[in-house]
């Protein structure tokens, strides 16, 4: 099956081979998409370029989403290389490490702004910059987490940012609907990626997750890739403004059977 044949996808947020963005990229590649990759800054190039080469991707561009000029530059390069783009994946989030432990009320003004800028505004900024070259029938996709809805201890300002990101998905879906461009989010269960390493209590949470989730299995970037293919292909042609959970069912459980 080639669900994405003839489609061009730009994926933002590959840091290494454990990144959710890389799981999505591999799934898109398997479905015949033409792919472009964008990474956060020159320091990551030595990791991202070999990954890109392993699947024959030649469009590999640095873009710090905190910089409007970087975003404008990738959009211009994408226009020159591909003409139009069908799919944009935003798999980016960041907060200062010190904001991700302790009490949420201690969040600094600067820490709040940074988390909102990188984790929320950047999705809107990409939508804005790529709007002129998005092909009707296309799709925008971002990644979120359950800490937007319920308190996940230590997730703190990222939880507030993800709530705003999910609201952005709905507003963007409304704006882009008339262009026949769909906008959705995947809410992923915990995955051991770079962004999850060194997070206070991640190991315990990872174990607790399989004890509570109906499917009793942890989530992989490949699991996310499958749902990303669905959300960016015509299989989901009338689905927009949604947050789809890929979490082994964790979020439907209101009362764990046993505490361990």
Residue 107, contacted partner among ligand NAD, ligand 0WE, none, CB below 5-8 A by kind: none
Locate 99 and state its tokens.
């904001």
Length of the chain, in residues: 260
Q: Which of the residues 145, 171, 206, 230 is marked catalytic?
A: 145
Check if 145 is active-site.
yes
- Nearer of residues 86 and 166 to ligand NAD, judged by Cβ: 166
Q: Tally helices (H) and strands (E) across the chain.
A: 8, 7
- Nearer of residues 16 and 180 to ligand NAD, judged by Cβ: 16
Cα–Cα distances in Å, from 152 out to 141, 145, 258?
Answer: 23, 10, 19
The C-alpha atoms of residue 20 and residue 70 are separated, in whole angstroms, by: 22
Q: Is 100 in the site for ligand 0WE (CB under 6 A)?
A: yes
Task: For the sheet with 85-90, list strands across it.
Answer: 59-62, 34-39, 8-12, 85-90, 134-144, 182-188, 243-246
One symbol per residue from 123 to 162: x for binding ligand 0WE (CB under 6 A), - otherwise; what is it? ----------------------x------x-xx--x----
Q: Please, what is the minimum distance in Å from the beta carbon of residue 245 to ligand NAD?
A: 10
Quote the distance between the C-alpha of residue 42 and its chain's center.
20
Residues engaged in binding ligand NAD (CB under 6 A) = 13-15, 19-21, 40, 44, 64-66, 91-94, 118, 143-145, 188, 190-191, 193-196
Check if 104 is active-site.
no
- Known catalytic residues are 145, 155
């Amino acid at each position: 099956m080639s669900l994405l044949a003839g489609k061009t996808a730009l994926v933002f947020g590959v840091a290494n081979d454990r990144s959710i963005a890389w799981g999505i990229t591999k799934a898109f590649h398997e479905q015949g998409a033409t792919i472009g990759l964008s990474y956060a800054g020159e320091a990551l190039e030595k990791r991202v370029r070999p990954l890109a080469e392993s699947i024959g991707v030649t469009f590999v561009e640095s873009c710090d989403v905190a910089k409007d000029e970087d975003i404008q530059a990738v959009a211009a390069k994408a226009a020159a290389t591909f003409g139009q783009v069908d799919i944009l994946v935003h798999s980016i989030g960041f907060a200062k490490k010190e904001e991700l432990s302790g009490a949420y009320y201690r969040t600094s003004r600067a820490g709040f702004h940074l988390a909102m800028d990188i984790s929320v505004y950047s999705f809107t900024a990409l939508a804005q910059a790529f709007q002129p070259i998005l092909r009707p029938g296309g799709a925008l996709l971002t990644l979120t987490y359950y800490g937007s809805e319920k308190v996940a201890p230590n997730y703190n300002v990222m939880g507030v940012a993800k709530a705003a990101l999910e609201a952005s998905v709905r507003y963007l879906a409304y704006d882009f609907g008339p262009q026949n461009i769909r906008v959705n989010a995947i809410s992923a269960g915990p995955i051991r990626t770079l962004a999850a390493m060194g997070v206070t209590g991640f190991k315990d949470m990872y174990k607790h997750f399989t004890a509570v989730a109906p499917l009793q299995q942890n989530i992989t970037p490949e699991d996310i890739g499958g749902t990303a293919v669905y959300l960016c292909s015509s299989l989901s042609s009338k689905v927009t403004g949604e947050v789809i959970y890929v979490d082994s069912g964790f979020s439907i459980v209101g009362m764990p059977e046993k505490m361990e």
